[in-house]
Every structure is written in C-alpha cells, then in structure tokens.
Amino acid sequence: PVEAQSPNRRGQQYLNEDPRSWAEPGFSTETPYYGFEKVTMVTGHGDEAGGDYEQWLKAQPGDWNMRRGEPNAIPVPGIVTPQAWRTQLPEALYPSAYIGGETVDYLQAHTVKDTNQPFFIQCSFPDPHHPFTPPGRYWDMYDPDEIALPSGFGRGDTHLDNYLHEALEQGRAQRSTQMPYAVNEREVREAIALTYGMIALIDDQVGVVMAELERLGLVEDTLVIFTSDHGDYMGDRGLMLKG
C-alpha cells in the first residue's frame, strides 16, 4: 500500500517548502516555481518562519535568529491561550514586515528595469496563524477583556466536538500540535485579540505596498486582489485551528 499523500511529497517543488531543504547551506528555491520566475520563500508561521526569511534574519545584526520561538519569549504573566508567546523580534524584523519590504523592493526593481512590462506579484503573509506571536505594539494592541465571544461559541454535538471537549475536561488535551483543540472562554478571547494584532500588522504592510505603488505611479493600472487560503474555528464550537 502507498500513502495517499506520498506522490505529493516528492519532487523539487515540494522540497522547496521542506524545512530540511533550507537547513542545507546555500539552498535556494529552484525556478520556475509554479510559473514564478523570482521567488522569495517564507515557510512556517509566527516568529518561527523559515526559508529565505530565516537566511535574511541570520544576516541581520543582533543574533535575532537565536532569540525567537517560545523558549526565548518575553515573559508575560497571565497569558493562558495555547501556542501564544510574546516574541523578542522587533516589528521591523518580523516575517510580515520582511514580506512587505521584499514586495516593495521588487516593485522598485521592476520600475527601474522596464515599467512598460506587466508584472504579477503574490505577496503571501503566513499570518494570521498559530502560533500567536504578533511583535511589539501589536501584541497588546487589542485587549482580550474587550473581545466578544463568537456567536457560535459553545460545545457542538459532533463526535469531534465531544472528543476534544472531553479531552480538555479530563486534562489530556494535546494543544501544541497542528490539530484542532478545545478552549475555554478566556483562551478564545486571548487568541482572537492576538489574531487581531497579527491582522493589524498585515494591514499596515499592505498599506506600505499600496503607498509604494502610488509613489511609483503604478496604483491606477494595478489590480490588487486581497484573499486568503482558509479560515479557523477561532472559538466557534469552543474549538481552535482547523480540520
């Protein structure tokens, strides 16, 4: 028997997104990559993102690459929601800011090269996503006490709902993985507040990109599409994540 996902876990395009590939010195994304001629790869989420971003971060003064992740988090008493920590990374070095900056750099290079040629940019932010690690002022930009519970908060009646809530009640919940887990009211409010912080940072970076389009005289003939890949329970049925 062959695992159903195995055919999709082979080949260069998959390896481009594999953290093990980026652990090899000098690794870079092989192009064309799904049709893209230039690729700046950011893998993972939160302050633990990898790929080209990690290589860039290692080159910044301050040894910031070794100061991220939950073990290096800034202590914040009272935070109880799973997979949340206050990152040491400053706003300017966080993945979302890096992606905004790379997009601006591409626009500037394109303008210098040939403004008459059309361009397509996929500016993809890993956030908002767990782990919940908005940097700097975005961490406490929203107060959990002022966050309303989702209208769908509460225990559902499916087998999944029952299993996850029973696991929480019995103290056997696994809440540090990629799989959905049950949460209480306080945890939901904190997760939503931190998610809003991540969204606010992305909003600011979209503003940076839009301002550069306008400065370069490209805003009037550039089609901007804002979309996302999927949602999150985010407290609906008392659950987090997806699946």
Q: Where are the domains of the chain?
A: 40-240
Burial class (CB in 10 A: 0-12, 13-18, 19+), 101: middle
> In the numeric block, which tokens belong to residue 114?
């040939």
Confidence of residue 5 (pLDDT cuts 50, 70, 90): low
The one-letter amino acid code at 165 reads: H
Confidence of residue 160 (pLDDT cuts 50, 70, 90): very high
Asked whether residue 69 carries a pLDDT value surpassing 90, the answer given is: yes
Query: CB–CB of 50/24 below 8 Å?
Result: no
Q: What is the reported pLDDT for 25?
A: 85
Question: In 10 A of CB 69, how many CB atoms?
Answer: 17
Query: CB–CB of 91/97 below 8 Å?
Result: yes
Q: What is the pTM of this model?
A: 0.92
Asked whether residue 13 carries a pLDDT value surpassing 80, the answer given is: no
Average of per-residue pLDDT across 59-82 = 96
Q: What is the reported pLDDT for 86?
A: 99
Mean pLDDT score across all residues of the chain: 93
Confidence of residue 237 (pLDDT cuts 50, 70, 90): very high
CATH (residue range 40-240): 3.40.720.10
Measured over the CA atoms of residue 218, residue 221, residue 222 and residue 225, the dihedral's sign is positive
Q: What is the reported pLDDT for 66?
A: 97
Q: What is the reported pLDDT for 105?
A: 97
Please name the residue that has the structure tokens 């040629």. 117
Confidence of residue 117 (pLDDT cuts 50, 70, 90): confident
pLDDT digits (tens, 9 = 90+) for 169-226: 999 999 999 999 999 999 999 999 999 999 999 999 999 999 999 999 999 999 999 9
Average of per-residue pLDDT across 3-22 = 71
In whole angstroms, give the CA distance from residue 78 to residue 71: 17
Please name the residues in contact with 182: beta carbons below 8 A apart, sequence gap of 6 or more: 164, 165, 167, 168, 173, 238, 239, 240
Q: Which secondary-structure segment (H or E) carries 181? A: strand 181-182
